[in-house]
Homo-oligomer: A and B are copies of this chain.
Amino acid sequence: MRNAPLGFFDSGVGGLTVVRAARTLLPHEDIVYLGDTARVPYGSKSPETIRRFAAEDVQFLLTQGVKAIVVACNTATAHALPMLRETFRVPILGVIEPGVDALLSDGQVDRIGIIATRGTIRSHAYQHALAQRRTGLIIHAKSAPLLAPMIEEDWLDHPATEAALKTYLDPMVDKGLDALLLACTHYPLLIPTLKKFLPADIRLVDSATTCAEHLKQELTRLDLLNPATSPGSLSIHLSDLSEEFEALARRFLDEDPGRIQRAVL
């Protein structure tokens, strides 16, 4: 079982930022990634539809013999994680709790901004997880539906992206922020831009690094760490294949994704 691969899924290729962080922290793990590019994005769709798609994604990964699954998508974590954990027996981790725990490990953080898809913000999953852990937090949540398409377009420094960030972030920055939660797996690519845009004392917390750290702890706790000493393999499956998705996968992963396979869901 410890030799089995880890499964990751996302609506598209954004979740590869989590895979990238996991491959740095857990270099001996084999990884199977599923991106549901035929139906991407999930962030604008209804909770029922997201749950149906997420269950199909998990079923695909189970056919690949995975030992644990990471929901590398904030929207799917927000709407589907409890249902997935009730339905399937394999350990399933999401991206929300690790981000919230990492953020609150700093006792000085009281005023928290959250940017995410419309679906994630609407779910109140982050707001709820934060409020459960600490009272008296001041939380500003803002859906930022154009950021993921802008990142996919590689407009990281484009005036359009700066104008969008201004609309999304200025109101919460003006009220005072200690930290900003980047609650979409696309957003780590925007960190250099955000660092130029935001006051230097605002801490940025992303889903990718925090989730990879949590995954390592959980695999250790469950005695599921791969004992291999050779580099782990990576196998990427997308439900729709195109040159654009392959090029995007390369950017999000920051390494050669190898031969990408077509997944039939």
Contact = CB atoms under 8 A, between A and B. Distances in A.
Contacts of A166: 159
B163 A153 contact: no
B49 A38 contact: yes
B118 A244 contact: yes
A153 B241 CA distance: 27
Nearest to A52: B38
Interface stretch (A61-69, A143-151, A172-180): A143-151
Contacts of A160: 146, 159-161, 163-164, 167
A160 B169 CA distance: 14
Contact of A38 (B39, B149, B161, B241): B39
A240 interface: yes
A153 B158 CA distance: 18
Contact of A149 (B40, B146, B159, B161): B146
A45 interface: yes
A3 interface: no
A46 interface: yes
A163 B49 CA distance: 34
A240 B46 contact: yes
Nearest to A50: B240
Contacts of A39: 38-39
A220 interface: no
A185 interface: no
A207 interface: no
Contact of A163 (B163, B167, B241): B163
Contacts of A118: 244
A45 to B, nearest CB: 5
A242 interface: yes
Contacts of A77: none
A164 to B, nearest CB: 5
Contacts of A167: 158, 160
A118 B39 CA distance: 16
Nearest to A37: B45
Interface string A246-258: 0000000000000
Interface of A: 37-40, 44-46, 49, 118, 145-146, 149-150, 152-153, 155, 158-164, 166-167, 240-242, 244
Given A49-B240, A146-B150, 4 more contacts: A38-B49, A45-B242, A46-B242, A158-B167
